[in-house]
Amino acid sequence: MTTPHAPSADDIRAVSPALARYTSENLTADVWARPGLAVRDRCLVTVAALIARSQTMIQRHCIENALDHGVTPAELSEIVTHLAFYTGWGSAMAAVAPLKAVFEERGVGNAALPPASPALLPLDEAAEARRAAAVEANLGEVAPGVVKYTTELLFNDLWLRPGLVPRDRSLTTISALAATGQVAQITFHLNRAMDNGLSKEEASEVFTHLAFYVGWPAVMSALPVVKEVFAARG
Amino acid sequence: MTTPHAPSADDIRAVSPALARYTSENLTADVWARPGLAVRDRCLVTVAALIARSQTMIQRHCIENALDHGVTPAELSEIVTHLAFYTGWGSAMAAVAPLKAVFEERGVGNAALPPASPALLPLDEAAEARRAAAVEANLGEVAPGVVKYTTELLFNDLWLRPGLVPRDRSLTTISALAATGQVAQITFHLNRAMDNGLSKEEASEVFTHLAFYVGWPAVMSALPVVKEVFAARG
Amino acid sequence: MTTPHAPSADDIRAVSPALARYTSENLTADVWARPGLAVRDRCLVTVAALIARSQTMIQRHCIENALDHGVTPAELSEIVTHLAFYTGWGSAMAAVAPLKAVFEERGVGNAALPPASPALLPLDEAAEARRAAAVEANLGEVAPGVVKYTTELLFNDLWLRPGLVPRDRSLTTISALAATGQVAQITFHLNRAMDNGLSKEEASEVFTHLAFYVGWPAVMSALPVVKEVFAARG
């Protein structure tokens, strides 16, 4: 397995002094320091966006940065697992090498990782029944396999794993949706994120942060949906 | 040329015991074994999705798996060529190294590959005339170059190459469309796939399989289109 | 930093004689030679599409090709910087290694690159006031951070950097939008490109060229927007 390293400041400067300046003065010193979203949360958002896009080049650096700012190995382990379902197995597999390299470097062993089959968080059975009924009515005949796994693997298993709290699982999900241009799914997941405790100010700041990591157009396409969600919640 | 290897089960376990479990118990032992879509077809779908996304990390493993389950070297050769047009030259070029490595490993020589210019399958001239007229009317003034190459290279050449039967070419195409979020093109190509012999049950199962390889949101965005196609075909 | 090389013609032939033929006879000898868009512009479009998609495999080759056809090191430096904002930091970071490798190979030093903070081009204050007011009215409450950086970093800084003329900056942007499926943003940026001097014939040819580098479906999804822009401009 290869584990590419991020370009250094000197590497960046060798191709673009301007990009080096934007990186240090604007992205690192300004955006990352903005109030409204904790640095730890910015790490979750960034790692999720990079894994979602299979951008392995700077994953290792961002994983190290996440560990330095309070994201635990257990949480990183859950994020990769979560994104296997939300951005595809290939992107999760591509993240294994960088994450394994950092875990080895820092002596993170299996005892620090969530077990394969932990005791799950309690299920909100009424909300889940409503969700399952809506999806079954809409897609039950078209794709019974998708409906079955959505219930069994996603909402009755993955989302109930305790290694990543629901609010952070939502943060991971909406970052991945923005990163992959899946704007239509943002309505459901941003509402869920806010139900799970993400404030409006934090949500707004997530998209400000993401503008730099997934590019302006992807965020500009997502913001009308964010606006609708904010308006509907009052 | 580099040819990365997929992470092993131990590598996966070292970052996420849960992901290792989902991979072996749910993806490999359950999803891949579902009736409704042959393992050979699942290999086509998976390879197409990974090439479409330039996810080289596990391409080599999936190519080996495809050869082990009845996909021929000639078909893999055609899939890469087909995806050059449907997902861009860059993704095809990224697939050359993994495919070449496997071909060398298994002693697949040029004699096993389709020639550059084979005798083509017969063209359905009436259907092609309708397609060409519709595209010309819609886009002839906007992008005459696109219209010209769509006719000459795609529908009068690529699609008529005998090394991959039309039904499998369609399977490759719809997998790539789901993988790249090109939902608007699924209507035409899913209809074509079903005209080319893909059953409704197989089509449904393709999207169930893809949920794991392109992620839930990409499939959830595609399914409303699939539902419409199924409904329109009765 | 790793700098993968593009597959050679022999590598391509070893997996697909057909793909080798399409590459040499159709893409290189035909598409690249079409009138309507200069080879230099085709280089800008291709490099932008590959960086936008983090397709590092053939970036090095395309960067060399760009330098051979009149794109300057300074322009390439600006393109990478521009795309950090338009396709995300990760894709710019992935382009650093290939670009640095080519610059070293050709002895391109920092003196040939645009300074971090050059004297900027004059701002069209009336147009910028209209743009800023429209974005503020639409998104000011939802994402004040995005609105602030859009004004400060993008339209009052990045777009005014003299190292890449506005018309070429627009060409870079619309190529990146097509490459990443951000169709909704094409209306604004294609109009801007044409305001900045891109002719209708050139714009049409950009999308013909892109069909090969971002795939047919991505271009087919973009062309209805292109058609609307052309129609609205008369």
pLDDT over 90 percentage in chain A: 96
Euclidean distance between CA atoms B183 and C218, whole angstroms: 10
For chain C, the domain total comes to 2
**A113-140 pLDDT per residue, tens:** 999 999 999 999 999 999 999 999 999 9
pLDDT for position B3: 66
Looking at the domain assignment, is residue B3 inside a domain? no
Shortest alpha-carbon distance between residue B106 and chain C (Å): 13
ipTM above 0.90, yes or no: yes
Q: Which of C106, C133, C160 is the last residue of a domain?
A: C160
**Do C98 and C49 share a structural domain?**
yes
Identify the weakest region by mean pLDDT among A97-101, B2-6, C25-29: B2-6
| Chain A residue whose CA is closest to B221 | A184
Tell me the average pLDDT across A25-33.
97
**Do B64 and B127 share a structural domain?**
no
- Of C49, C16, A5, A143, the residue nearest B225 (C-alpha): A143
DSSP state of A1: -
**B65-124 pLDDT per residue, tens:** 999 999 999 999 999 999 999 999 999 999 999 999 999 999 999 999 999 999 999 999
**A158-210 pLDDT per residue, tens:** 999 999 999 999 999 999 999 999 999 999 999 999 999 999 999 999 999 99
Looking at the domain assignment, is residue B78 inside a domain? yes
Looking at the domain assignment, is residue A67 inside a domain? yes
| CATH code of A63's domain | 1.20.1290.10
In this complex, do C205 and B145 lie within 8 Å of one another by their Cβ atoms? yes
**Do C155 and C203 share a structural domain?**
no
**B116-166 pLDDT per residue, tens:** 999 999 999 999 999 999 999 999 999 999 999 999 999 999 999 999 999
In this complex, do A78 and B17 lie within 8 Å of one another by their Cβ atoms? no
**Disruptive mutation site among B1, B142, B153, B187 for chain C (greatest number of C CBs within 10 Å):** B142
Asked if residues C155 and C131 have their Cβ atoms less than 8 Å apart, the reply is yes
**Do B99 and B133 share a structural domain?**
no
Nearest to B93 among C7, C181, C205 (CB): C7
Shortest alpha-carbon distance between residue B90 and chain C (Å): 6
| Chain C residue whose CA is closest to A208 | C146
pLDDT for position A57: 84
CB-CB neighbors (< 8 A) of A216 in chain C:
85-86, 150, 154
**Do B58 and B83 share a structural domain?**
yes
CB-CB neighbors (< 8 A) of C205 in chain B:
145
Shortest alpha-carbon distance between residue B169 and chain C (Å): 15
pLDDT beyond 60 at A1: no
**B187-204 pLDDT per residue, tens:** 999 999 999 999 999 999
CB-CB neighbors (< 8 A) of B213 in chain A:
88-90
Neighbours of chain C (3+ CB pairs under 8 A): A, B
| Chain C residue whose CA is closest to A230 | C142
**Disruptive mutation site among A55, A83, A93, A152 for chain B (greatest number of B CBs within 10 Å):** A93
pLDDT beyond 90 at B5: no
Q: Which of A160, A189, A207 is the last residue of a domain?
A: A160
Dihedral angle over CA of B103, B109, B115, B121, nearest 10: -60
Which of the four pLDDT bands, split at 50, 70 and 90, describes residue C209?
Answer: very high
Euclidean distance between CA atoms B15 and B214, whole angstroms: 21
Asked if residues C58 and A57 have their Cβ atoms less than 8 Å apart, the reply is no
| Chain A residue whose CA is closest to C85 | A215
- Of C158, C214, C146, C205, the residue nearest C183 (C-alpha): C214
Which of the four pLDDT bands, split at 50, 70 and 90, describes residue A2?
Answer: low
**Do A42 and A107 share a structural domain?**
yes
Q: First CA to last CA across chain C, in angstroms?
A: 49
Task: Provide the angle, in degrees to the nearest 10, between the axes of the packed helices C200-214 and C166-179.
Answer: 40
pLDDT beyond 80 at C23: yes
CB-CB neighbors (< 8 A) of C14 in chain B:
100, 103-104, 110
Asked if residues C190 and C229 have their Cβ atoms less than 8 Å apart, the reply is yes
Neighbours of chain B (3+ CB pairs under 8 A): A, C
Q: First CA to last CA across chain A, in angstroms?
A: 49
Q: How many CB atoms lie within 10 A of CB A139?
A: 21
Euclidean distance between CA atoms A220 and C142, whole angstroms: 11
Half-sphere exposure of A21 (CA within 13 A, CB side): 15
pLDDT for position A3: 66
Looking at the domain assignment, is residue C2 inside a domain? no
- Domain, as residue range, for C150: 122-160
Q: How many CB atoms lie within 10 A of CB C107?
A: 7
**Do B135 and B56 share a structural domain?**
no
pLDDT for position B57: 84
Shortest alpha-carbon distance between residue B117 and chain A (Å): 33
Looking at the domain assignment, is residue A73 inside a domain? yes
Task: Provide the angle, in degrees to the nearest 10, between the axes of the packed helices B166-179 and B73-87.
Answer: 50
- Of C30, B127, B174, the residue nearest B135 (C-alpha): B127
Average confidence score pLDDT of chain A: 96
pLDDT for position C5: 79
Q: Which of B133, B160, B187 is the last residue of a domain?
A: B160
Looking at the domain assignment, is residue B2 inside a domain? no
**Do C65 and C33 share a structural domain?**
yes
**Do B82 and B145 share a structural domain?**
no
pLDDT over 70 percentage in chain B: 99
CB-CB neighbors (< 8 A) of A55 in chain B:
none
Looking at the domain assignment, is residue A200 inside a domain? yes
Euclidean distance between CA atoms C29 and C19, whole angstroms: 14
Nearest to C223 among B99, B104, B139 (CB): B139
pLDDT beyond 80 at B17: yes
Q: Which residue has the tokens 């699924």?
A: B186
Shortest alpha-carbon distance between residue C32 and chain B (Å): 12
Euclidean distance between CA atoms A131 and C201, whole angstroms: 50
In this complex, do A7 and C181 lie within 8 Å of one another by their Cβ atoms? no
**Disruptive mutation site among C142, C153, C161, C190 for chain A (greatest number of A CBs within 10 Å):** C142
Q: What global pTM score does this model have?
A: 0.97
Average confidence score pLDDT of chain C: 96
Looking at the domain assignment, is residue C23 inside a domain? yes
Euclidean distance between CA atoms C155 and C129, whole angstroms: 10
Nearest to B100 among C14, C212, C223 (CB): C14
Nearest to A20 among C116, C145, C163 (CB): C116
**B45-59 pLDDT per residue, tens:** 999 999 999 998 899
**Do B190 and B130 share a structural domain?**
no
Nearest to B7 among A76, A78, A97 (CB): A97
CB-CB neighbors (< 8 A) of A54 in chain B:
53-55, 57
Nearest to C100 among A14, A179, A213 (CB): A14
**Do A172 and A66 share a structural domain?**
yes
**Do A108 and A59 share a structural domain?**
yes
